[in-house]
A and B are shown apart, each in its own frame.
Chain A
Amino acid sequence: MSRKALQPLWWVVIGGFSLVPFLWFVLTSWKSPAQITAIPPEIVPEFHWGFYDSALRNYGLLRYIRNSAIVATLTTLISILIGSLAAYALTRFRLSWTRFYLMLLLAISMFPQIAIAGPVWRILNTLGWLNTYQGIVAAYIALSLPLAVWILATFFKELPYEVEEAALVDGCTWVQALWKIVLPLAAPGLFTASILVFIHVWNEFFFALLILTNPALQTLPVGIALFPGEYTMPWGEIAAASTIATLPLIVLTLIFQRRIVRGLSAGAIKG
């Protein structure tokens, strides 16, 4: 079959499109300082490991990765929890305001985030939460709730009500119905929403720049933004740091990609 014959081509085209730019950066991380800006570029690196050493030791990369992991995990857990409660209520109780609330969430996710960074900073300052994990996590929860609630709502609405209704008749409380019946059924949706929120938070730069100035708490995007000196651009260290920092996410997506795809197909798209 001609389709089968085309398979290697798919691999090259799609794999190349996704990977080549990043692989170029990976190769860069193994070059020597003078080789990085060689004209014309040199493909084969000298396998110099100095930039990894420097990124880890002089720039404290692992600390930034740890902070990002803490912040992203906490944000994901809390917003998925709060988001499920809201999404459950919004899909199960057909009240006059539920549709309005969903629309409101969608609308606020359209407002430019940079424009609200100032007021958010002031609130955190009032609470004394600048330079704390709970401060950045609280701001991120608000940023990711619309995404989480929307994805979860599209999943929940597809789940059969009958099982819950039976459980409620049997004397289950609403909480038990959500916890024991709906959540397990919606597991793929929870995974999808979690990974979307996690990556969204993992990538966020501007809020973190303003809110986290204590070097012990700064996250990865801010950390890498701190690499360039006043007049220097440490491409080698940035490339090494990006390579290291991307690995956990690649592993994470490898583990979750089946669930993500399966998850979305379970509900979101049927609309």
Chain B
Amino acid sequence: MSLSLSIALLLPVLLLSPLFLGAETQIRFVTWKSQFPKVWDQAIADFEAANPGIKVTREIGPHSSTDFHDLVTQKLKNRDPEMDVFFMDVIWPAEFAAAGWALPLDRYFPPAERGKFLVAPILANTYRGQIYGVPLFIDAGMLYYRKDLLAQYGFSPPRTWPELVAQAKAVLAKANDPQLTGFSGQFKQYEGLICNMMEYVLGNGGALWDADALKGTLHRPEVVEAVRFVRDRIIGEISPRGVLAYQEPESLALFAQGRAVFHRNWPYAWEIANDPERSRVAGKVGMTVLPAFPGGKSVSTLGGWQLGISRFSRKPDLAWRFVSFMSSPRMQKQIALYGGRAPALRALYRDADILKKRPEFETQFDTFVNAVPRPRTPVYVPLSNIMQRFFSSAIALRDSNIESLARSASRDMDRVLDLLREGTRP
């Protein structure tokens, strides 16, 4: 009796369930909520119009790379055939390839086509000779500065990190504004910390790890020296300690409120920093390549998003049709024009419409071309977590023993990298 009662109660629940029925073929696209939804809605409508009988269903996840990773991998590790196309952060293709989750796209995406893209994002999507994703837009670290303050005190944008520290200190000393700080960046314990720290570490001739020897390198003097520079000169002298909890939004807010002389961020910050609605320094902002260490070269971390196809998709050909449509020059141009994101296709940097609306892309092009991807490996996430822990501990504690933290982080990374020597890969 109670059983039938509970079944009777469950019935309306069953009837409430939405029905995903229909005669058309469906492509399921797992994406995040777009910042410029109209561009995407239009593009998907155009695709459906050009491909009668195909319907694109979007599943929406959070924008945070970490949360989105949870969502997509949950589907992939369970071989979910429902998901056809998904977004990938630039650090995921190797993991997804090795795990057998992402479909190799070589037969759809031949080298001649890849040649039309910037080199670094293509490299980031390549694992053991095969390609697993099509870059949609890219990111690279840039230096933002207060044009007005630098001009007022007779400085030109700094070429080296020590120069940046010296300029910031000079401006702070002369400006006599207790609210002004020298530099804001992203130093919270999260993936963005790797992006920021990599720029100092690689700029100082170091490496995050040795990908050939499969050995940790954090204990090497170049790395330790770069980390010490960040702890003692950046955090210790010119940044508020709050940067240790900053992700992109908080660090940009400090700069946009006119409380920082220098700021490290991705290209998106340009538009916000110059929008009088959202910024108190609109029109006073300059942008240039990140500083280098004396005698070294400037390093800018590569970011960005790609489209991949699930290996468990039952209709890879259709999925490719969609991916190729969404990553076409037309679409990347729309994203650049209305979303302000930097295209992955080279030719668009000579496109008159784009350059007219986004003149800053011209100055940024060199940085985009030279941006350095984080090293590719299927065990990137565990390595990144070890590095995040190390970098955060090293710079957040004023008297941290950087050498000893680095040695132990390096050993932990060795252990993870050792996994790659085990067994025989297919």
**Mutual binders A and B:** yes
Binding site for B on A (CB under 8 A): 33-34, 37-39, 70, 74, 77-78, 81-82, 85, 118, 121-122, 125, 131-134, 137, 175, 209-210, 213-218, 222, 225-226, 228-233
Within 8 Å CB of B30, what residues of A?
213
Given A34-B278, A210-B71, A216-B18, CB of A134 within 8 Å of CB of B10: yes
Are A215 and B60 in contact, CB atoms less than 8 angstroms apart? yes
Are A37 and B253 in contact, CB atoms less than 8 angstroms apart? yes
Are A175 and B1 in contact, CB atoms less than 8 angstroms apart? yes
Query: 18 pairs across A/B with beta carbons < 8 Å?
Result: A33-B277, A39-B254, A81-B6, A121-B74, A132-B17, A134-B13, A134-B17, A209-B62, A209-B70, A213-B30, A213-B60, A215-B33, A226-B32, A226-B33, A226-B60, A226-B62, A229-B35, A230-B65
Q: Which of B13, B63, B247, B256 contacts A137 (CB 8 A)?
A: B13
Report how far A205 CA is from B240 CA in the complex, Å: 33
Are B74 and A232 in contact, CB atoms less than 8 angstroms apart? no
Within 8 Å CB of A133, what residues of B?
13, 16-17
Report how far A130 CA is from B13 CA in the complex, Å: 14
Chain A nearest CB from B62 CB (Å) reads 5
Chain B nearest CB from A206 CB (Å) reads 9
Chain A residue with Cβ nearest B192:
A231
Are B61 and A213 in contact, CB atoms less than 8 angstroms apart? yes
Chain A nearest CB from B286 CB (Å) reads 20
Query: What are the nearest 7 A-B pairs in CB distance?
Result: A233-B249, A213-B59, A231-B248, A37-B253, A132-B17, A215-B60, A134-B13
B80 on interface, CB distance cutoff 8 Å: yes
Chain B nearest CB from A81 CB (Å) reads 7
Chain A nearest CB from B26 CB (Å) reads 13
Chain A residue with Cβ nearest B33:
A226
Report how far A37 CA is from B64 CA in the complex, Å: 21
Are B63 and A39 in contact, CB atoms less than 8 angstroms apart? no
Chain B residue with Cβ nearest A133:
B16
Chain A residue with Cβ nearest B79:
A125
Q: Which of A121, A122, A210, A218 contacts B60 (CB 8 A)?
A: A218
Report how far A118 CA is from B76 CA in the complex, Å: 12
8 Å CB interface, B288-316 against A: none
Chain B nearest CB from A218 CB (Å) reads 7
Given known contacts A34-B278, A77-B9, A213-B71, what 13 new A-B pairs fall within 8 Å (CB)?
A: A34-B280, A121-B78, A125-B78, A125-B80, A137-B13, A175-B2, A210-B71, A214-B60, A215-B58, A216-B18, A229-B63, A231-B266, A231-B268
Given A74-B13, A209-B71, A231-B266, CB of A214 within 8 Å of CB of B279: no
Binding site for A on B (CB under 8 A): 1-2, 5-6, 9-10, 13-14, 16-18, 30, 32-33, 35, 58-65, 67, 70-71, 74, 78, 80, 179, 247-250, 252-254, 256-257, 259, 265-266, 268-269, 272, 277-280
Q: Which of A78, A210, A226 contacts B63 (CB 8 A)?
A: A226
Report how far A26 CA is from B334 CA in the complex, Å: 37
Within 8 Å CB of A122, what residues of B?
78
Chain B nearest CB from A164 CB (Å) reads 17
Within 8 Å CB of B35, what residues of A?
229-230, 232
Within 8 Å CB of A210, what residues of B?
70-71, 74
Within 8 Å CB of A85, what residues of B?
2
Given A74-B13, A122-B78, CB of A228 within 8 Å of CB of B6: no
Within 8 Å CB of A229, what residues of B?
33, 35, 63
Report how far A132 CA is from B266 CA in the complex, Å: 38
Given A175-B2, A228-B62, A231-B266, CB of A132 within 8 Å of CB of B67: no
Are B14 and A214 in contact, CB atoms less than 8 angstroms apart? no
Most buried by A among B1, B16, B71, B277: B16
Within 8 Å CB of A218, what residues of B?
60
Are B78 and A39 in contact, CB atoms less than 8 angstroms apart? no
Chain A nearest CB from B257 CB (Å) reads 5
Within 8 Å CB of A38, what residues of B?
257
Are B179 and A134 in contact, CB atoms less than 8 angstroms apart? no
